[in-house]
Amino acid sequence: MSHVSHKPTKLQQKVLDVIMRYHEKHNAAPTIYEIQKKLALISSRSVTQHLEALEKKGFIHRTRYKNRGIMLTSTLKDGEMVLLPVFASAGCGSPAVIAERAFDEFMEVASNLLKGKKKEDLFVMKAIGNSMNEAGIRDGDYVLVERIVDQDFEMGDSVVAIIDDHAVIKRYTRADDLIILQPVSSDRAHRAIILGGDATYKIFGKVIRTIHMPKTRDIQYAPVVS
């Protein structure tokens, strides 16, 4: 009996990456021609064949005869895998790592780790530093983050904050009209970040899972989750 892989091939993955980046930037699907041009493919038929394969594997859904009819699949069955974008690293010590909105890497995550969240609201970010090690987020870990639009955070949530175009992971608290981003670390040298009304910041998302990576160089698609 032959075994059918549900993972995308290398070429299918490139097509999927183009679709995901385009959706992230434009909140719409690319056309077949745009995918063909981006990947320098010889014909539009080759793009269509990759799209057919991705649809069969459950990564996308297509509306036929619609110019921008490619939709990323957001409803996943338990045990299926989903590709999430990996954003630039977040400093867990001080706001010293630029959080670029563009991403060039994806991580494959089991759908049962998404806790019923919408795939389009989730991303992965690598933690740098040890200011959250007592919250279970160590240097080099990846965190699964849910983007929160309405800033609906609870006291004690671990959040990703963007401060002057830099990203940090901290514990969220409030006091009067101030927001306090508190380290949770065995290293007492780390200090809280206090934000007032005139500060330039955005609480970008809430950490919903920590992914502890094995000590290996090949980490993109083989997370070990505790």
Active site residue 14: no
Contact 142/211 with Cβ under 8 angstroms?
Answer: yes
**Do residues 155 and 182 touch, judged by C-beta distance below 8 A?**
no
The pLDDT value recorded for residue 182 is: 93
Residues with Cβ within 8 Å of 105's Cβ and at least 6 positions away in sequence, in order, are 85, 86, 220
pLDDT in tens, 85-109: 887 677 776 656 555 555 557 787 8
Q: Outline which parts of the chain fall under CATH 2.10.109.10.
A: 81-225
CATH architecture of 10-72: Orthogonal Bundle (1.10)
**Residue 115, pLDDT score:** 67
pLDDT at site 212:
80
Burial state string for 51-70 with b = 16 or more CB within 10 A and e = fewer than 16: bebbeebebbeeeeeeeeeb
pLDDT < 50 positions in the chain: 1-5, 75-77, 216-226
Name the active-site residue from 57, 170, 185, 206: 170
Buried b (16+ CB within 10 A) or exposed e, 77-91: eeeeebbbbbbbbbb
Sequence length of the chain is: 226
* Beta-ladder partners of 110: 81
123: number of Cβ within 10 Å: 22
89 is catalytic: no
What pLDDT is stored for residue 97 in this prediction? 58
CATH 1.10.10.10 intervals, the chain? 10-72
What is the domain class of 81-225 according to CATH? mainly beta
Q: For residue 5, what pLDDT is reported?
A: 47
Looking at 131, 158, 185, 206, which residue is catalytic?
A: 131
Gap between the Cα atoms of 36 and 214, Å rounded? 36
